[in-house]
Amino acid sequence: MKKQKSIAALKNDAMRSLQRLVRAKAALNLRSELIPCCDCGRLGHWLYEMDGGHFYSRKDSVGLMEENVHPQLKGCNLRMGRGDQKVAEGYRRFLVDLYGEEWLVETEQLAWKPRKFTRGELEDMRSEFELRRKAIEKELEKIL
């Protein structure tokens, strides 16, 4: 009998799927392998040079919220994880331009509220992210 994955492992699986999905979506929207970093605006290859960067920590209740994850150069993502204010300010401006200040305030309040995901929720999220990602990557293959 196969051992069930832990909730933490299921959450990580869903997170990886979401991060790749947002990068693929950006590449498809721009019809380019090179996409801009949400922080600094420099271009990087969607698959090899970008991460799916979280504005609010992936540990927060909004960690699996698609609007909280955007293509971010690996270097910017690392610096943001270390608390680099310059990077955080760039990402914040990006979010305000995209969603507005009100969204940012509401999402910050949500981020502080504890949230426990069930096994079923995480499996469903991962499945949905994977389904969408595969469809997008299939479209990318046609145009790139």
Residue ranges of the domains in the chain? 7-121
Average pLDDT, the chain: 94
Rounded to 5°, angle at Cα 92 from 87 and 94: 100
Cα dist from 110 to 1, 35, 40, 103, whole Å: 39, 29, 26, 10
Enter the pTM of the model.
Answer: 0.94
Q: What's the whole-number mean pLDDT along residues 29-39?
A: 97
Give percent above pLDDT 70 in the chain. Answer: 100
Q: Is the pLDDT of residue 14 over 80?
A: yes
pLDDT at 87: 79
The string of pLDDT tens digits covering residues 107-122 is 999 999 999 999 999 9
pLDDT at 117: 95
Bridge partners of 36?
A: 43
DSSP structure class, residue 42: -
